[in-house]
Structure 1
Amino acid sequence: MTGVSAGSGIAVTGLRKSFGDLVVLDGIDLDVPAGTTFSLLGPNGAGKTTAVRILSTLIGFDSGQVRVAGHDVVTEPDAVRASIGVTGQFSAVDDLLTGAENLALMADLNHLDRATGRRRAGELLERFELTAAAGKPASAYSGGMRRRLDLAMTLVGDPRVIFLDEPTTGLDPRSRRTMWQIIRDLVAGGVTIFLTTQYLDEADELADRIAVLDHGRVVASGTAAELKSGLPGGHVRLRFADLAGLDAAARTLPGASRDDEALTLQVPGDGRVPALRALLGRLEQAGIEVDELSVHTPDLDDVFFALTGRPAATDEAVR
């Protein structure tokens, strides 16, 4: 694939996958620089889960090239598995074990010696603020604590690439923001994060780059700002104290849409500071006072709907 950087955490070229006559991935290209967060968005059945399963070596594919953490998933699957961690929507935590025992189990599965495993478990318990609960059974953990423990278990093997599937589903706002900070800290430490999420605000908050997948194809990719800036629909909403003010403003701003009942004008614009200054300057020069001003810019929900013709999905289909 042209444009794939030497420092790619994940590099995908022409990836195709079908189940019988159903084409699920139709030649997708992805380039995720190492040490960044990438989010793959798409409606139900778009192929997100299939893509993650291929990248994590769980299933094969029909054609294309896939490299993860610098390793080819076909010729070097063991090296890929040793370099990645996968945290699914549903926790892999064993409720019958304590937090410390869950981490010790993962250390054994990663073939760490006893001393190294204990040290690694202790570091992760402290890092994820679980030290006080280390001796409690996981069944007694809150949702946020379980998510943190699940991610800590993924990190026992020190993966360089982590696939996060719906990492904050069901969490309260405080726990969501705690998880977001953990993800940022991982990326700051050089880890590559591949994020699938139903929360578009989460992708907006965390992802360095985003790709939108629809009908097996990448229909758009870029930063959140780039995706949003490509959409029309941004506007400034002005509200006035009375109908006289609204009439005067409408004459001054002939391209605006008015709402007499709400005493508002909707003026097309991107909401940037220079444009706002110019707008308010025109009104001030005409002696018109604005009672209230608000700015609307397209968000990722708008991007998603414009690209797929559907609102954001709330559940991921099997494929």
Structure 2
Amino acid sequence: MKAIGFKTSLPISSQESFIEFETPTPNLSGRDLLVKIQAVSVNPVDTKIRQNTAKDTVLENPKIIGWDAVGIVEAVGEEVSLFKVGDEVFYAGDITRAGSNAEYQLVDERIVGKKPTSLSIEASAAMPLTALTAWETLFDRMRLSSEKDKGKTLLIIGGAGGVGSIAIQLAKKLLGLTVIATASRPETIAWCKKMGADVVVNHKDLVNEVRQAGFHFVDFIYDAVDVNGYWDAVVELIKPQGHINSITGSGTPILINKLKTKSVTFSWEFMYTRSSFQTEDMIEQYHILNRVSALLEEGTLISTHQNTLTGLSAETFKKAHAQLESGTTIGKLVVKY
């Protein structure tokens, strides 16, 4: 099968930053599905792994990345019970296995959902990773519910990004929260409002912007940009006994002690925890994706797909990663095969 990968970490402008190659179609077993890929979307995790996996080394075999996909089930393992050959599916994959930038991919059925039938391939491909990340943050990590949290305030740092765009929708439509999102350009401000944000503030002067908007403290803060870069601001803005969650990671220690006097909860969200560690509740991602699919079908959620590139080629993925690395992407960029 044809695949796109890399053997060393290079700037996206380099000729060898992505290469095309042939590799055997993988053999499946157990609860694996063999999926023929129709479209994928690109995410920040793709660029980070490409930039950092093979620094100062050359891999013997090219690494295939890509962690969003829509496709058709071509074959099923002997233990599969949730899907059958011919099913249209969407998923975010497993970071410990080969990715979706290829003709075919193996994926465990427990982290796969049924593609929304009324949505296009492109609109569906934009959703799995960001929807899973936003859902797990709000419902699994922060444990929010409409019964106890309706009307409370949520600040989303990075409202126009892929995850922020879904988090705004879930927070408004399912939880009834008052959503404050950050954005600084006219087009990103408009996008956040389209997603449902009640208030949009500029992240460049976060504390003053939030307070000028009428909020001295906020109940919950969701960092989707840079946890250390905004740490002092979120420590100042979080309400006593509130909850902060980050998906961004940090190269340096976070000063958690600053939260002590407010008795604030801090949590991480990493969407690949369940698949990486084969947790006993791994099948929750199957249920989440099917719930998201239903919400997309009924129009409660809207896809964040914005732009499409075409073709399973090194050049296409170079263009996609260059666009993502520019830092100006709104919503999601999809590559259709």
Q: Decide: shared fold, TM above 0.5.
A: no
Question: Of the two, which has the highest radius of gyration?
Answer: 1
TM-score, scaled to structure 1: 0.28
TM-score, scaled to structure 2: 0.27
* Structure (1/2) with the larger helix percentage: 1
